[in-house]
Amino acid sequence: MDYGKLVVEMRRLALEAGDKIMEIYDGPEFEVMVKSDNSPVTVADEAADALISAGLRAAFPDVALVTEEQSASHDIRAKTFLIVDPLDGTKEFINRRGDFTVNIALVEEGQPTRGVVYAPAKGRLFYTQADGQTVEETGALDKQAVGETKPISVSSPDNGGLMVVASKSHRDQATDDYIGQYEVRDMTSAGSSLKFCLVATGEADLYPRLGRTMEWDTAAGHAVLAGAGGLVVRFDNPQLPLVYGKESFANPFFIAYAPGVDLKGA
């Protein structure tokens, strides 16, 4: 894989998809449809999926591609594949809360190694560079020219007062009970894969997810966090990493965190 080319293409496609999403977000009311799994989908999801899929297939025709909106047709047995959630946080998008992202990632041998997370309503762009280091790009976010970037890294956590981030739309008692085992300085909530990014930048130390997610929900954020020095492990066995390429694309519960957090038992 040409990582340099991959990063350029993922970054550009994420920004272009973000523009398309924001056209719809800032426009008149849009129809909300329901998929077979009862999750919502909008024309923005579909438009972003079409744009990103076409771009990735043109640039990397020999690499398998998985996207949320085409997941019913996927039967991936490849060890290397691209995986896309064109609009992660559809509920946040529908409610115009801004916490939605464009997620594009590369998975190799079960782990996401390169990824981009773009939050168009917030103007925040995170991605792994060709060398695997994660940066946040600031400024105008020009599609053709990379602006100012800054390397990001996870915190050095203080277990006497952790900063915890949890889901905005999927918070439940089980999550609160688990978080209650820690000494918590403060908590914040965020939608979509932004939670991974907050741990990656050191704005949070710990993100537990005790709820249903799919691989396209997490791969890009996982890559961003890994490139900033963070870890993502299974909730039921923190000795095991969260892996990708599973038959159903469904994830087990997991914990994303900065090394140094004293993880508690499930």
Helix axis angle, 43-59 to 3-25, nearest 10°? 160
Burial zone of 117 (CB within 10 Å; 0-12 exposed, 13-18 middle, 19+ buried) = buried
Burial zone of 8 (CB within 10 Å; 0-12 exposed, 13-18 middle, 19+ buried) = middle
What CA–CA distance (Å, rounded) separates 5 from 122? 26
Q: How do strand 64-67 and strand 80-88 relate by DSSP bridges?
A: parallel
Length of the chain: 266
Task: For the chain, report the end-to-end CA distance as a whole number of angstroms.
Answer: 37
Q: Is 124 helix (H, G, I), strand (E, B) or coil?
A: strand
The binding site consists of 68, 85, 87-90, 217
Reference 209, options 251, 180, 264; nearest CA is 251
The binding site for Mg(2+) consists of 68, 85, 87-88, 217
Name the strands in the sheet holding 184-190, side by side, starting at the edge strand that comes first in the sequence. 184-190, 162-167, 206-209, 254-257, 231-234
- Quick one: tokens of 238? 């923190």
The binding site for substrate consists of 68, 87-90, 217
What CA–CA distance (Å, rounded) separates 28 from 242? 40
